[in-house]
């Protein structure tokens, strides 16, 4: 009972004030026949020291990216997290507060959210942003649901297999119980095949969902895709990598109607998958279709600028079954981390960061492909990720061997793309040094040699 405060004497006094004899009597409204007869069968309590030791043991059974070299990506990335981000997020006035229902005592959170929304619009070139949703996948899915309502078309949603496979799985799950057809267009050479895509966009299509850079790291021709979508009256939803936006044109300038992103890269560790940050921004005219919390500026009774949650009539606690979404929580703490991160980076920082990712990824790709065993799977230009084909077709052993050398060399693609079973996805962030890349190259080569040697 490490955190309860009442002493036996307190308890006695409180029971007397209530007018009952025992703690047990307090539970009189729980019928006897459904009471748990004995103790829960869970392990006994641990002290802080025992707990710390136990958790260190569990942590020790993992091979973390802190003691390896990480080239894994696919939506979660090993970018550098500045100390200030951890410092701000560990202010307990931020992390032990909740949804700013009382603006008078939540101006810290509300102003931070207003700033987050502004930073996201600056980064994406969109008009408005919400206060965040769960993750990149839920952002993409909620954006699709927005498009159904905004276009009043529910017949069809068109996406492509260059969008993150897990995002598409979430979308499929969410659409399973509504009468909307999900069309997934196959890529050619790792990019969207525009004629093939255009063919699928009908006058019943609510939206086209793409990713840029796409799941394979390749850049898409967003402007022409936007035109194809808009010509049919469909919305264009673009899932972006926020780290690319110091270099690449912003999706708002390329014709996107809704922009979504996984915001983990903006100052959040990889945490084995979450919590992360779902970024969702759109053009002004879709504002009232947005899910989740939105913060707005107003004035108080004395005319002082301040911030409040607003447009709440979209939300579940007011509208119940007629709400735009069932989403209640946002990822406040991770929106805060992203804001601090962007404030530290500034425009020049984001540009330099983008350049470092680009240069290092290109260098890594060239170095890997110096071996005759490897080639790039696709020709399209890439940002920080690229797909490598193992001509020997032995990806599992190759990656397992590299991991045993302390190098997480890439994500195997066969699980999602059977025809890419001989390929893996390599991500190179600004954190990777030339020495790291050399280690990657030698871990991949060592395996070739080892395999060769074992047959010699």
176 in contact with other proteins (CB under 8 A): yes
Q: Where are the alpha helices (DSSP H) in 320-419?
A: 332-368, 395-404
Q: Which of 155, 255, 274, 414 binds other proteins (CB under 8 A)?
A: 274
Distance CA 440, CA 452 (A): 19
Q: State which of positions 204-243 bind other proteins (CB under 8 A).
A: 219, 223
189 in contact with other proteins (CB under 8 A): no
Q: Which of 69, 138, 251, 444 binds other proteins (CB under 8 A)?
A: 138
Alpha-carbon distances, residue 403 vs 69, 292, 447 (angstroms): 9, 40, 11
- Closest approach, Cβ 186 to other proteins, in A, equals 20
Please calculate the CA angle 84-88-90 and round it to the nearest 5 degrees.
115
Token pair of 282 as six digits: 């759109």
285 in contact with other proteins (CB under 8 A): no
Q: Which of 69, 121, 243, 407 binds other proteins (CB under 8 A)?
A: 121
Q: Which stretch binds other proteins (CB under 8 A): 150-158, 185-193, 199-207, 341-349?
A: 341-349
Q: Which stretch binds other proteins (CB under 8 A): 147-155, 226-234, 330-338, 369-377?
A: 330-338
Q: Which is nearer to other proteins, 301 or 454 (CB)?
A: 301
Closest CA to 190 of 210, 170, 220: 220
Q: Which stretch binds other proteins (CB under 8 A): 155-163, 184-192, 262-270, 447-455?
A: 262-270
456 in contact with other proteins (CB under 8 A): no
Distance CA 284, CA 452 (A): 60
Distance CA 5, CA 16 (A): 18
Q: Which is nearer to other proteins, 55 or 186 (CB)?
A: 55
Q: Which of 19, 454, 455, 456 binds other proteins (CB under 8 A)?
A: 19
How far is the first Cα of the chain from the last one, in angstroms, to the nearest whole number?
63
Q: Which is nearer to other proteins, 239 or 448 (CB)?
A: 239
Q: Is 173 buried (19+), middle (13-18) or exposed (0-12) by CB count in 10 A?
A: exposed
454 in contact with other proteins (CB under 8 A): no
- Closest approach, Cβ 389 to other proteins, in A, equals 18
- Closest approach, Cβ 456 to other proteins, in A, equals 27
Q: Which of 381, 393, 397, 450 binds other proteins (CB under 8 A)?
A: 381
370 in contact with other proteins (CB under 8 A): no
- Closest approach, Cβ 331 to other proteins, in A, equals 5
Q: Which stretch binds other proteins (CB under 8 A): 182-190, 201-209, 333-341, 447-455?
A: 333-341
Dihedral angle at the C-alpha atoms of 442, 393, 189, 244, nearest 10 degrees?
-30
Query: What DSSP state is assigned to residue 70?
Result: E
Distance CA 413, CA 55 (A): 32
Q: Which stretch binds other proteins (CB under 8 A): 153-161, 193-201, 226-234, 312-320?
A: 312-320
Q: Which is nearer to other proteins, 245 or 387 (CB)?
A: 245
358 in contact with other proteins (CB under 8 A): yes
CB within 8 A of 248, min separation 6: which ones?
Answer: 219, 354, 383
* Total residues in contact with other proteins, by rule CB under 8 A: 205
Q: Which is nearer to other proteins, 40 or 452 (CB)?
A: 40
Q: Are 278 and 262 in contact (CB under 8 A)?
A: yes
Q: Are 136 and 142 in contact (CB under 8 A)?
A: no
Distance CA 371, CA 375 (A): 8
Q: State which of positions 30-69 bind other proteins (CB under 8 A).
A: 30-31, 33-36, 39-46, 48, 51-52, 54-68
Please calculate the CA angle 373-79-60 and round it to the nearest 5 degrees.
85
- Closest approach, Cβ 278 to other proteins, in A, equals 9
272 in contact with other proteins (CB under 8 A): yes
Q: Which of 190, 217, 251, 332 binds other proteins (CB under 8 A)?
A: 332
The residue count of the chain comes to 456
Q: Is 31 buried (19+), middle (13-18) or exposed (0-12) by CB count in 10 A?
A: exposed
Cα within 13 Å of Cα(98), Cβ side: 4
Q: Which is nearer to other proteins, 173 or 231 (CB)?
A: 173
246 in contact with other proteins (CB under 8 A): yes
Q: Which stretch binds other proteins (CB under 8 A): 25-33, 150-158, 196-204, 369-377?
A: 25-33
Q: Are 174 and 145 in contact (CB under 8 A)?
A: yes
Closest CA to 165 of 199, 209, 126: 209
Q: Where are the alpha helices (DSSP H) in 369-433?
A: 395-404
Q: Which of 174, 194, 200, 202 binds other proteins (CB under 8 A)?
A: 174
Contact characters 73-112, other proteins, x per CB under 8 A: -xxx-x---x-x--xx-xxxxxxxxxxxxxxxxxxxx-xx
248 in contact with other proteins (CB under 8 A): yes
170 in contact with other proteins (CB under 8 A): yes
Closest CA to 437 of 357, 330, 323: 357
């Amino acid at each position: 009972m490490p955190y309860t405060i009442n002493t036996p004497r307190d308890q006695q006094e409180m029971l007397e004030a209530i007018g009952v004899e025992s703690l047990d009597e307090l539970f009189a409204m729980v019928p006897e026949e459904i009471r748990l007869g004995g103790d829960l069968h869970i392990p006994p309590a641990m002290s802080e020291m025992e707990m710390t030791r136990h958790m260190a043991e569990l942590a020790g059974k993992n091979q973390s990216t802190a003691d390896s070299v990480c080239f894994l990506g696919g939506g979660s990335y090993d970018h550098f997290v500045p100390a200030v981000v951890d410092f701000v997020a560990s202010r307990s006035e931020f992390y032990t507060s909740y949804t700013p229902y009382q603006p008078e005592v939540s101006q810290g959170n509300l102003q931070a959210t207003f700033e987050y929304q502004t930073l996201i619009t600056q980064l994406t070139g969109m008009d408005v942003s919400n206060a965040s949703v769960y993750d990149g996948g839920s952002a993409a899915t909620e954006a699709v649901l927005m498009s159904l309502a905004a276009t009043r078309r529910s017949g069809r949603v068109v996406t492509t297999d260059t969008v993150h496979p897990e995002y598409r799985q979430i979308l499929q799950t969410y659409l399973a119980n509504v009468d909307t057809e999900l069309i997934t267009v196959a890529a050619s050479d790792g990019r969207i095949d525009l004629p093939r895509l255009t063919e699928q966009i009908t006058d019943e299509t609510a939206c086209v969902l793409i990713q840029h850079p796409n799941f394979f790291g390749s850049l898409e021709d967003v402007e022409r895709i936007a035109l194809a979508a808009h010509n049919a009256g469909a919305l264009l939803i673009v899932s972006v990598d926020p780290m690319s936006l110091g270099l690449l044109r912003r999706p708002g300038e390329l014709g996107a109607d809704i922009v979504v992103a996984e915001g983990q890269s903006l100052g959040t560790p990889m945490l084995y998958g979450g919590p992360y940050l779902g970024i969702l921004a759109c053009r002004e005219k879709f504002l009232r279709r947005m899910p989740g919390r939105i913060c707005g500026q107003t004035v108080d009774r004395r005319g002082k600028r301040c911030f409040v949650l607003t447009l709440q009539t979209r939300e579940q606690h007011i509208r119940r079954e007629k709400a735009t979404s069932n989403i209640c929580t946002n990822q406040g703490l991770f929106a805060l981390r992203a804001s601090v991160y962007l404030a530290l980076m500034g425009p020049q920082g984001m540009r330099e960061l983008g350049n470092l990712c680009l240069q290092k990824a290109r260098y890594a790709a060239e170095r890997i492909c110096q071996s005759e065993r490897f080639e790039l799977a696709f020709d399209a230009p890439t940002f920080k990720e690229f797909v490598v084909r193992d001509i020997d077709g032995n990806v599992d052993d190759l990656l397992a061997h590299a991991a045993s050398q302390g190098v997480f060399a890439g994500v195997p693609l066969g699980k999602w793309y059977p025809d890419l079973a001989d390929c893996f996805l390599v991500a190179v962030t600004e954190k990777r040094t030339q020495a790291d890349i050399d280690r990657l190259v030698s871990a991949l080569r060592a395996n070739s040699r080892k395999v060769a040697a074992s047959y010699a």
